[in-house]
Structure 1
């Protein structure tokens, strides 16, 4: 496909030898320097759809100025977790080329990031607020950026980052550059942004207009669970024989911290990722989840687009999300990269109206999920719960990344 041999070899060394649809469609266009909009569902390979051509062009494109320590590539993402994930993926692909990738995000030491930029970087991956702050302080140079990527643009819109994004785009307007915008959905504000700051972009959609919003490789199980019975239900689900890496999603930070602590008290090896934790604690929990030492991650939606682990077998919605797209992004953490997964949603009796709105928008056909308890035969049979499953599985543990309020275990 015209990608530099060094990049292909680096990916092959990690077992990455075939393209996904979004990658196969975008690579030839992106490598030519054309502006493009890439649209595909979460988990379908968007990162390397823009990451491979970005690295290839920074490394060897004739129209990209020679590397001199100021950024030639800039990737803007909505969350800290996604910034870390994207930077790690780019570093893997850049392992055999002299292209330095740096991560710039909030929650980390400001002076260390300034020192990193002064030492010289070729590609920067970052969140809008910290990028703009460093630019305005003249620590981040944007005057020679040749390739700009806006990843998960719809999420940046939802999180209120559009004013910062527009300021960053305005800072790049004096230097000719390629712009790639990747998004799962295309709200009107994103379309307007593309029309303003892109030059005749090619819009590539890897799914048909009629494609279902969720992966066919993901088995969805939805049932009503009483609030007081949700923890026993969750404990038993976590004991199914074929369970691998599992993400438990909550709607609030407090519930994430509390649920992680309760699972740890029951003997499960669990990590937590939510907004009340320091960035270092969040990264520690995520790293443990990625390397398999922490098989269960309890997280708020801050992590729904920042965890790119291919072999997540189960996603459990401990609380119903606020909207349909959040549901799609949550369960998109499983059934990825050709694997099969299971997404389980526990609908509290007081959450039924919220679930029915999601069910209607996504046409899932389950407006009245069955009512199951942790002892219900239907629940046990449907999810293959072991006959000897109990609430606790061992002695209490500590939560990886910190428990309630980020301060570790607390009684």
Structure 2
């Protein structure tokens, strides 16, 4: 895998799963994300956006640590939750981060009980995460990174107010948007919840 100074366990797992060459998007966004900056990334289909997100989170967190989540990923629906969990299943085998997924069909109390056992990465839909964070009293101060997969889809499906509410409670940490098109709405949201965001536009 041709990403500079990538975590060695992650590198081996990527190669074991046939990912030996990074896409242009993965290559061009690795250093900006690794730097800790807030980033808005535009990429079309087959540019490897979701894989880039998963790779960067594994690289950043490295190994299991403490009980509360250190990375939060917001996605649109159950199928996207399962897609992200599947990528972690592939590329996280050696780093062994604890990854948990929640969506509108899962049981809130059961989710909270399982998360309380310790989790590094929490993946979920906006409605369920909002429910969870408002009722469970999570320690959001441990969050190092909040990523939004397909932020354009989340905004199209009217999750903006929930996102703003969530981000008001999460004061610390890096924020990353992945989208297929950087729109004015995305730029406005980035200005609202990010610090000096970097905008990166990748072609198909």
Shorter-normalised TM range:
over 0.9
Query: Tell me, what secondary structure is at the counterpart of 2:116?
Result: helix
Aligned-pair distance for 1:111? 2.6
Distance 1:3 1:179 in 2: 20
* Partner of residue 103, structure 1: 101
Which runs of 5 or more structure 2 residues have no equivalent in the other structure? none
Distance 1:129 1:42 in 2: 26
Query: Tell me, what secondary structure is at the counterpart of 1:97?
Result: coil
1:113 pairs with one of 108, 111, 115: 111
Distance 1:13 1:111 in 2: 37
Q: Deviations over 1:15-74 (max 9, x none)?
A: 1111111100101111121111110012220012222111111127xxxxx821100001
* Partner of residue 14, structure 1: 17
Larger gyration radius, structure 1 or structure 2 = 1
Distance 1:87 1:12 in 2: 19
* Partner of residue 131, structure 2: 133
The answer to whether the aligner puts 1:182 opposite 2:178 as a matched pair is yes
After superposition, where does 1:238-253 map in structure 2 within 5 Å?
none
* Partner of residue 60, structure 2: 57
Task: Tell me the number of residue pairs that the alignment of Structure 1 and Structure 2 aligns.
Answer: 201
Query: Tell me, what secondary structure is at the counterpart of 1:137?
Result: helix
After superposition, where does 1:252-401 map in structure 2 within 5 Å?
none
Structure in which a larger fraction of residues adopt helix: 2
2:87 pairs with one of 86, 89, 95: 89
* Partner of residue 408, structure 1: none
Could you state the TM-score of these two structures normalised by the residue count of structure 1? 0.47
Distance 2:40 2:124 in 1: 20
Q: Indicate the larger mover: 102-111 or 127-136.
A: 102-111
Distance 2:156 2:72 in 1: 21
Higher RCO by CA contacts (8 Å cutoff, separation 6 or greater): 2
Q: Tell me if the contact between 1:83 and 1:105 (Cα under 8 Å) persists in the aligned partners.
A: yes
Which runs of 5 or more structure 1 residues have no equivalent in the other structure? 61-65, 208-214, 216-411
Q: Where has structure 1 moved over 6 Å in runs of 4 or more?
A: none
Distance 1:139 1:95 in 2: 30
* Partner of residue 45, structure 2: 42
* Partner of residue 25, structure 1: 28
Superposed CA RMSD: 1.5
Q: Tell me if the contact between 1:117 and 1:139 (Cα under 8 Å) persists in the aligned partners.
A: no
Distance 1:191 1:143 in 2: 26
